[in-house]
Chains A and B, each alone.
Chain A
Amino acid sequence: MSNYIFELKEGLIIALKAIRANKARAILTTLGVVIGICAVALMSTTIKGMDIAFEEGISSLGSDNLYIDKWAWFSNEEFWKMRNRKNLKLSDYEKFKNLAQLPIAVAPTLWIVKKVEFGNNYVEGTLITGSTNEYLKTTNFDFDEGRFFSAIESRSSRNVVVLGKEIADHLFKSKNASEKYIKISGIKFKVVGILKKQGSNLLGNFNPDKQVYMPIGAVFKHFERASKRSIAIIVRARNTSMVEKTKEEAEEIMRRVRGLMYDEENNFSINQQEGLTQNYDKTVGVIKIAGLFITGLSLLVGAIGIMNIMFVSVKERTREIGIRKAIGAKKRTILTQFITEASTICLIGGVIGLILAVLLSMAINKFLPTSIQFDTVILAIVISLITGVLAGFAPAYTAAKMDPVEALRYE
């Protein structure tokens, strides 16, 4: 054992000497590993960052919500079948709300897309959610200014709006927005509240920061005819463990509300965020695998570079190997020496690559969410070590099995 430590230590000293003796070559060889490790580490921090951002985003939607909709969000149900379903109406929502016992909140929603304006500032294609005051209870919203619209405002379909943070910033820049009036399709709406920054860009337009909220009655009054559009009903379960029970109850009540016979299929769907998560995992999972595979390839190229240079190094040092063998180095000693050398180059490359990845990810963080995890750091170091051992093995083995007589004669 102690012998082995000697050999390792000796191997390390030799490795550092050899690297110092061939600086330019070592730098170029290391560069391959630097790029490889940097790419792999960067990829995994980006993946981690996306995951975290998605989780944050989705939790801002409220994780115990059910969405009763004409459409199934993620299913193999045929499109035309769902299209032929009856629209969900406000009256369906009211009947449902009266019958449901388990939810802590039930709110109707209807989405429309409009341009919103304040003075010369405007945001094109803003997602406007129409709902009731109960909508607030289905979210985890906090307010920067003001409040959500009240029950009275909701019932009487007043022209009031709550703005997402980004919309408010766009329209009012740094000015105070509360109690001001914005225009949607030429109609004036009073701003009663502005949300705190919530979600993440991964949710796209569904990010609450990019939405406007108003009473659903106001949507029907000014923008949509009630008969044309199907609403969705958001149902908030008491807690996560109650989600399943609440869902069962909701299905039962909805069948009653929709007047379905026992042998008829549901003409509505109950959606859950889980579907969103599954969908995310499906699409992002592919990106993850592809990304890691491609960046892995660059590491492989780096490893091949190391292997190549180690073969050259073994050839150049044939005589040295002969000398070492003559004075008593065993096969294992020589093997250790060259593997240590390859691993040292890889390890140095790995550490540099990692530092580079950390710096780059700080820069990238401005555009894409990244997150450097401790396990990524450990993994990168371990991968670079393994790369070194694997890349060094074949050349080291060639060196170890050299015939000392031949090696000593080598010019």
Chain B
Amino acid sequence: MNIINLENITRIYQVGSEEVRALDDISLRIDKNEYVAIMGPSGSGKSTLMNILGCLDTPTSGKYDFKGINVSDMSDNELAEIRNREIGFVFQTFNLLPRSNAFHNVELPLIYSGMHSLKRKEIAKETLASVGLEDRVHHKPGELSGGQRQRVAIARALVTNPSIILADEPTGNLDSKTGEDIMLLFDAIHKQGNTIILVTHEEHIAKHAKRIIRLLDGKIERDE
């Protein structure tokens, strides 16, 4: 069953008087339980593709079906709801709320989905335990190591049980040993039946994925 179906997606930015074609007529399908890496040099359009896949941005033209629903011209609020329920984000810079502890960071997507407090707390706790942080629940991001912070971010991405997990350079700010640990965690998450899309420019990270899509100048150069 395919989750993501992009048809002729183009995204043009207006920079001053110049038009930048960040994505140029891209078509792409990703099925359930795939483990995909998107690769390419900087400026190749992989961030833009990631933003569109993550419903953070909408294409200038083309059609994006997410689980059979056309999301390319949804309103901001509808997109927010899709992001909340269907997509889990993991960022290079972790992007945790600095003043909130690990538990609250993980709980937050469930608050936005309107889940009842008791159930929410239970699920958040379970998810934190599943990434091995049951004893760091009340620590703030500043009190955690890089690897631990990324685990909190992964727990936050997993907590709503989303259809896809989008990870943008998840090991970019980690040393290679910790980075490898995090990749093993992704592998495990994939084995549990999750769909993972990884954006990276490092070959050894991309090797964890089962499929590698290479971008160049806004076009798909190779898909293997």
Q: Which residues of A contact B113 (CB under 8 A)?
A: 328
Contact flag A330-B77 (CB < 8 Å), given A6-B111, A10-B111, A405-B51: yes
User: CB of B83 within 8 A of chain A?
Assistant: yes
B5-64, CB < 8 A from A: 51, 54, 56-57
Q: Tell me the complex Cα distance, A213–B210, Å.
A: 110
Which of A17, A18, A328 interacts with B112 by CB under 8 Å?
Answer: A328
B100 and chain A: residue at smallest CB distance = A17
Contact assessment for B112 and A319 in the assembled complex, using a CB-CB cutoff below 8 Å: no
A1-41, CB < 8 A from B: 2-3, 6, 10, 17-18, 21
B108 and chain A: residue at smallest CB distance = A327
Q: Using a Cβ cutoff of 8 Å, how many contacts connect chains A and B?
A: 63
A314-340, CB < 8 A from B: 319-320, 322-333
User: CB of B148 within 8 A of chain A?
Assistant: no
User: CB of A404 within 8 A of chain B?
Assistant: yes
Q: Which residues of A contact B202 (CB under 8 A)?
A: none
User: CB of B181 within 8 A of chain A?
Assistant: no
Contact assessment for A326 and B54 in the assembled complex, using a CB-CB cutoff below 8 Å: yes
User: CB of A408 within 8 A of chain B?
Assistant: yes
A104-136, CB < 8 A from B: none
Contact assessment for A327 and B99 in the assembled complex, using a CB-CB cutoff below 8 Å: no
Q: Which residues of B contact A18 (CB under 8 A)?
A: 99
Contact assessment for A327 and B112 in the assembled complex, using a CB-CB cutoff below 8 Å: yes
Q: How many residues of chain B are within 8 Å of chain A by beta carbon? A: 27
Expressed in whole angstroms, the minimum distance between the Cβ of A23 and any Cβ of chain B is 13
Contact assessment for A326 and B89 in the assembled complex, using a CB-CB cutoff below 8 Å: yes
Q: Tell me the complex Cα distance, A255–B95, Å.
A: 93
Contact assessment for B99 and A324 in the assembled complex, using a CB-CB cutoff below 8 Å: no
Which of A2, A328, A332 interacts with B109 by CB under 8 Å?
Answer: A328
Expressed in whole angstroms, the minimum distance between the Cβ of B9 and any Cβ of chain A is 15
Q: Tell me the complex Cα distance, A404–B51, Å.
A: 9
B109 and chain A: residue at smallest CB distance = A327
Expressed in whole angstroms, the minimum distance between the Cβ of B214 and any Cβ of chain A is 23
A28-75, CB < 8 A from B: none
Q: Which residues of A contact B51 (CB under 8 A)?
A: 405
A411 and chain B: residue at smallest CB distance = B93
Contact flag A405-B111 (CB < 8 Å), given A17-B100, A323-B97, A326-B95: no
Q: Would you give the 0/1 interface string for A340-370, flagging 1 where the beta carbon is closer than 8 Å to chain B?
A: 0000000000000000000000000000000
Q: Tell me the complex Cα distance, A333–B80, Å.
A: 11
Which of B76, B77, B99 interacts with A21 by CB under 8 Å?
Answer: B99
A401 and chain B: residue at smallest CB distance = B76
Q: Which residues of B contact A329 (CB under 8 A)?
A: 80, 112
Q: Which residues of A contact B54 (CB under 8 A)?
A: 326
A404 and chain B: residue at smallest CB distance = B56
B120 and chain A: residue at smallest CB distance = A6
Contact assessment for B99 and A328 in the assembled complex, using a CB-CB cutoff below 8 Å: no
Contact assessment for A320 and B97 in the assembled complex, using a CB-CB cutoff below 8 Å: yes
Q: Which residues of A contact B109 (CB under 8 A)?
A: 327-328
A407 and chain B: residue at smallest CB distance = B56
B80-139, CB < 8 A from A: 80-81, 83-85, 89, 91, 95-100, 108-109, 111-114
Of the candidates B96, B99, B111, B114, the one having the most CB atoms from chain A within 10 angstroms of its own CB is: B111
Which of A17, A319, A404 interacts with B99 by CB under 8 Å?
Answer: A17
Contact assessment for B81 and A330 in the assembled complex, using a CB-CB cutoff below 8 Å: yes
User: CB of B156 within 8 A of chain A?
Assistant: yes
Q: Which residues of A contact B91 (CB under 8 A)?
A: 408
Q: Which residues of B contact A405 (CB under 8 A)?
A: 51, 56-57
Contact assessment for A331 and B57 in the assembled complex, using a CB-CB cutoff below 8 Å: no
Q: Tell me the complex Cα distance, A328–B85, Å.
A: 8
Contact assessment for B112 and A323 in the assembled complex, using a CB-CB cutoff below 8 Å: no
Q: Tell me the complex Cα distance, A18–B100, Å.
A: 10
Q: Which residues of A contact B97 (CB under 8 A)?
A: 320, 323-324
Q: Which residues of A contact B100 (CB under 8 A)?
A: 17
B98 and chain A: residue at smallest CB distance = A320
Q: Which residues of A contact B81 (CB under 8 A)?
A: 328, 330
Contact assessment for B95 and A323 in the assembled complex, using a CB-CB cutoff below 8 Å: yes
Q: Tell me the complex Cα distance, A17–B56, Å.
A: 27
Contact assessment for B114 and A327 in the assembled complex, using a CB-CB cutoff below 8 Å: no
Q: Which residues of B contact A333 (CB under 8 A)?
A: 112
Contact assessment for B57 and A330 in the assembled complex, using a CB-CB cutoff below 8 Å: no
Expressed in whole angstroms, the minimum distance between the Cβ of A186 and any Cβ of chain B is 84
Q: Tell me the complex Cα distance, A324–B160, Å.
A: 14
Q: Which residues of B contact A319 (CB under 8 A)?
A: 95
Contact assessment for B114 and A6 in the assembled complex, using a CB-CB cutoff below 8 Å: yes
Expressed in whole angstroms, the minimum distance between the Cβ of B42 and any Cβ of chain A is 14
Expressed in whole angstroms, the minimum distance between the Cβ of B7 and any Cβ of chain A is 22
Q: Which residues of A contact B111 (CB under 8 A)?
A: 6, 10
Expressed in whole angstroms, the minimum distance between the Cβ of A164 and any Cβ of chain B is 67
Q: Which residues of B contact A324 (CB under 8 A)?
A: 97, 108, 112
Among all A-B residue pairs, the 6 with the closest Cβ atoms: A328-B84, A328-B112, A3-B114, A330-B80, A327-B109, A323-B95
Can you pick out 28 interface pairs between chain A and chain B where the beta carbons lie within 8 Å of each other? A2-B114, A3-B114, A17-B99, A21-B99, A320-B98, A322-B95, A323-B95, A323-B96, A324-B97, A324-B108, A325-B56, A326-B83, A326-B89, A326-B95, A327-B109, A327-B112, A327-B156, A328-B83, A328-B84, A328-B85, A328-B109, A330-B77, A330-B81, A331-B77, A331-B80, A404-B57, A405-B56, A408-B56
